[in-house]
Amino acid sequence: MSSYRKDTIAEIAKAPTAPAMPAAPVNVDYYGEDVFNANAMKVYLPKDVCKKLLATIEQGAPLDPSIAGEVAHAMKKWAMDRGATHFTHWFQPLTGSTAEKHDSFLEPEGCNAIMVFSGKNLIVGEPDASSFPNGGIRSTFEARGYTAWDPTSPAFIKRHGNGATLCIPTAFASYTGEALDKKTPLLRSLQALSKSTERLMACFKAGKKKTTVTLGAEQEYFLIDKRFYLQRPDLYQAGRTLFGATPAKHQQMDDHYFGSIPSRILNFMNEVEMELWKLGIPAKTRHNEVAPAQFELAPMFEEVNLACDHNMQVMEVLRNVADKNGLVCLLHEKPFAGVNGSGKHNNWSVSYGNGNLLNPGSNPHENAVFLTTLCAVIYAVDSHSDLLRMTTAGAGNDHRLGANEAPPAIVSMYLGDQLMDVIEQLEQGAPKSSKQAGAMKLGSDSLPPLPRDATDRNRTSTFAFTGNKFEFRAPGSSQSCSEPNVVLNTIVAEAFDMIAEQLEKLDDKNFHSGLQKVLQKIVKEHKRVIFNGNGYTDEWIAEAERRGLPNIRTSLEALKALKKEENIALFEKYGVMNRREMESRYDVNVEDYHKRVHIEGEVARDMAKNIIMPKVVEAYSAALKTNEMALNQGFPGVDSYVKSLGEGYKNLTAAIANIETALAEGVDIVKAMADARKVVDALEKIVPDEMWPLPKYREMMFIY
């Protein structure tokens, strides 16, 4: 192999590993120490102010603006006690990442200085709204925008070197009031779903309670040694390998999934979890994923707005801790071809008061509510599968969806045998029996409890019921959790309202029979979206087409859902997004897609032309000389080897020209890159190993 690759592998092999230390007593007193949470508020805030703020956070009460000054003073004192000298409004623009502008607390006072943080500093900030993606909402000369404090997501400390910054989660809007971020529509959708849930639960005489939407976001990622990463322009420019032949051994032995975690990786995971726990992020599960060098982190369930903020922090912590450990965390959906990509499984549920509406329950009233909620979700997913598919659109996820480790682009629901049996009985009339045991009737008749794990797991399903929640498996690993939950909240709100409107017309005597008819109609009209089989097969694609389910294969096609009149009307009805906001998101996402593809095309061209081609020419020239010398000395020639290199050289020249044409014309860039990849990957297998200029898959995925 090339000397620099050999040296890199030798360096990794010699790198010292952390010495084994005796187990210390477990102490998690530091959990949440870098969060201005309820515990901190009770220490730093006056009692009456703390009570008002906690009422907003925990009960959804309107924020009392008069307390802002005292909250700001307490927050500054708390942050300075932890070493913070600066503050920032931490927000989530349409770039897909987070943004922050740091201001110090320092304020000169003559020859001295004091540290100041006012209520105004806390409540509102003013970043440049025209410099972030906005889809034309803000022109370059119309720069004003605002960040607004979100008190329901606690402020936290971000540590960096010897310093620290107070980060205040905020929404981001334009001067004219449109949302320019991921958080604002999420908060609006939560408000919409809360109203619709309260309306539906009133039909069941459940009283007025708080609606809580919960999320558990499983985060998949790859880790590779940083020294390999720095030798791959495609990784540090595009986030994925644009070239790379599949090694002889990859994931086909199924020996990496849940395997013993390598010590270097385990040290990394321990440090990640410590950082997350300090931030009050309940990281719970860690394990090897299916592909070599692939891993997963899963937190416990949290309220969805907080969970979305926490997931953005999780991704940053993964990257930062990896860098400290000489690793690089790859969050791209498909960093390596030929093996599993990475997703972000969105586990969603909704509760009313203390009751999870997706828990089958143990009495007739709870079961009626559960079946109503289940049918509402069936209605929502079938009616708005285009919107759910839209939330997974992205240049990276296009390489993953429909591959052999991710759900297909067809949105379907998995319920499992037992629930499917109930649904089928409901379609024919009142459910009377369960596949397990007991009478099963709706309403006042006895409906036995379903076990909490009433279903198998179907990893090929886009949207699967998993006991007391739905797991939306299609979002990509680098994507924000906000969009899928904005859509889920909104479409379920519509479904709840649709059912409530019909139930409100029923008197007590006819309520259960009327409810049965409503749910029966939903099942008959929307059961086409339920599929419990293998979503990876060609047969399912044909079956889905027969059922009339859309198969939206590409991101550009999926994003069109944002421009459909019926979808704009839906989001405007529930006050989640207006026409201008939806159309701007379409423009932003389409532009993002084209920019990413164009960047990849340029990187692929440059690598093929300036890194790979010279080595192919060198190998070809050496082979020609070797062949000539062998023939001159009466030895067998290497004609076939020379021919294969010559053909590869010719094909690579043509592939580079095709990429350049595609880039110039702005079309077929993805195809031109894919064609070039076939040529380069074939050359990787015939060019002598000592001449190949890039770290190979067998090195990056197995040596760390």
**Other residues' Cβ atoms within 10 Å of the Cβ of residue 554:** 14
Per-residue buried b or exposed e for 357-383, using 16+ beta carbons within 10 Å of the residue's own CB = bbbbbeebebbbbbbbbbbbbbbbbbb
Q: 11 falls in which pLDDT band (50, 70, 90)? A: confident
C-alpha pair distances (Å), 700 with each of 118, 230, 255, 337, 433: 50, 11, 17, 13, 54
| pLDDT score recorded for residue 433 | 54
Q: What percent of the chain has pLDDT over 70?
A: 93
Average pLDDT along the chain: 92
**pLDDT at residue 430 tops 80:** no
- Out of 239-253, 269-283, 345-359, 396-410, pick the least confident: 396-410
If you average pLDDT over residues 476-485, what whole number do you get?
A: 98
CB-CB contact of 243 with 694 (8 Å)? yes
Which residue type sits at 584? S
- Nearest by Cα to 394 from 453, 486, 478, 490: 478
C-alpha pair distances (Å), 118 with each of 59, 106, 125, 331, 559: 25, 12, 12, 38, 42
What's the pLDDT tens digit per position in 269-301?
A: 999 999 999 999 999 999 999 999 999 999 999
What's the pLDDT tens digit per position in 617-655?
A: 999 999 999 888 878 887 776 788 899 999 999 999 999
User: In the chain, what is the greatest distance between 2 CA atoms, to the nearest angstrom?
Assistant: 103
If you average pLDDT over residues 302-323, what whole number do you get?
A: 98
> Position of tokens 């939806």?
582
What's the pLDDT tens digit per position in 380-396?
A: 999 999 999 999 999 99
| pLDDT score recorded for residue 441 | 44
What's the pLDDT tens digit per position in 505-533?
A: 999 999 999 999 999 999 999 999 999 99
**pLDDT at residue 452 tops 70:** no
Q: 22 falls in which pLDDT band (50, 70, 90)? A: low
State whether residue 631 is helix, strand or coil.
helix
Which backbone phi and psi does 347 adopt, to 5 degrees? -90, 110
| pLDDT score recorded for residue 484 | 98
CB-CB contact of 397 with 479 (8 Å)? yes
**pLDDT at residue 107 tops 90:** yes
Identify the helix (H) or strand (E) that includes residue 214: strand 211-225
d(CA 166, CA 160): 11
CB-CB contact of 51 with 76 (8 Å)? no
d(CA 507, CA 475): 42
Pairing of strands 163-174, 86-90: parallel
**pTM metric for this prediction:** 0.94
**pLDDT at residue 404 tops 70:** no
If you average pLDDT over residues 230-236, what whole number do you get?
A: 98
DSSP single-letter state for residue 608: I
| pLDDT score recorded for residue 451 | 44
Q: How many CA atoms lie within 13 A of 129 on its CB side?
A: 26
d(CA 46, CA 580): 43
What's the pLDDT tens digit per position in 140-159?
A: 777 789 999 999 999 999 99
| pLDDT score recorded for residue 443 | 45
- Nearest by Cα to 357 from 493, 524, 511, 532: 493
What tokens appear for 334 in the block?
């498909």
Listed in order, strand segments (DSSP E) in 315-356 are: 327-330, 344-352, 355-356
DSSP single-letter state for residue 100: -
**pLDDT at residue 455 tops 70:** no
* Vertex 75 angle, CA 72 and 79, to 5°: 140
What tokens appear for 520 in the block?
């029966």
C-alpha pair distances (Å), 133 with each of 105, 137, 267: 29, 9, 38
Which backbone phi and psi does 285 adopt, to 5 degrees? -120, 140
d(CA 616, CA 291): 30
What tokens appear for 588 in the block?
């932003």
d(CA 191, CA 576): 9
What tokens appear for 478 in the block?
């680098």
**pLDDT at residue 24 tops 80:** no
Q: 328: phi > 0 → left, psi -120 to 50 → alpha, else beta; which?
A: beta
Q: What percent of the chain has pLDDT over 90?
A: 79
The residue count of the chain comes to 704
**pLDDT at residue 79 tops 50:** yes
If you average pLDDT over residues 434-452, what whole number do you get?
A: 43
Identify the helix (H) or strand (E) that includes residue 659: helix 639-665
